[in-house]
Copies of this chain bind each other. A is one copy, B any other.
Amino acid sequence: MSVNSKAEILKTLGDQTRLRVAHLIAASKKSLCVCEIVDALKLPQYRVSKSLVMLRRAGLVDVDRNGTWGYYHPNESEKANASLFEFVKEFCAGEPFDLDIDALDRRLKLREKDKCVVGFVSEKELVKLMRKKGVEV
């Protein structure tokens, strides 16, 4: 791989939004739906969406589409990515990034049969839905 494409990968990760998104995808064992990422990071949808496009262009993530819903996960077809995502996880270990993971984990509790079944939800709605579902808030 050229010097340029290696640099391009790091540049893509070198942005707050994209790094948080990539870290979430790296750290989560599941494929993540866009609205789950949006809610976990509390960022505008278009920003997450654009970040995902760039991560995809850099060959880092891939998407499984299921109707309108898109599930993002590390792109395993590039075998170098395994260690890259390991690095991202380690590099982002600790305080500020952990909070994203926590928020994601809560949000994932709304899944049914391991699939996302709601779109964006505010914190208030999230709590309401968790109560209704009977999961720990």
- Stretch of A82-90, A115-123, A125-133 contacting B (4+ beta carbons < 8 Å): A82-90
Count of A interface residues, CB-CB < 8 Å: 28
Contact of A7 among B1, B3, B19, B94 (CB under 8 A): B19
Contacts of A80 in B (CB 8 A): 91
Contact of A14 among B13, B20, B92 (CB under 8 A): B13
Closest residue of chain B to A91, judged by CB?
Answer: B6
Total copies of the chain: 2
Is B7 a contact of A96 with CB atoms below 8 Å? no
Known contacts A10-B10, A83-B90, A87-B87: does B15 contact A3 (CB below 8 Å)? no
Of residues 74 through 123 on chain A, the ones whose CB sits less than 8 Å from some CB of chain B are 80, 83-84, 87, 90-92, 94, 96-97
Contacts of A8 in B (CB 8 A): 14
Of residues 1 through 41 on chain A, the ones whose CB sits less than 8 Å from some CB of chain B are 1-4, 6-16, 18-20
Contacts of A12 in B (CB 8 A): 14
Known contacts A13-B10, A14-B14: does B97 contact A3 (CB below 8 Å)? yes
Known contacts A11-B14, A13-B14, A14-B14: does B84 contact A2 (CB below 8 Å)? no
Give the Cβ gap from A27 to chain B, nearest Cβ, in Å. 14
Closest residue of chain B to A13, judged by CB?
Answer: B10
Closest residue of chain B to A99, judged by CB?
Answer: B3
Known contacts A83-B90, A91-B84, A96-B2: does B20 contact A16 (CB below 8 Å)? no
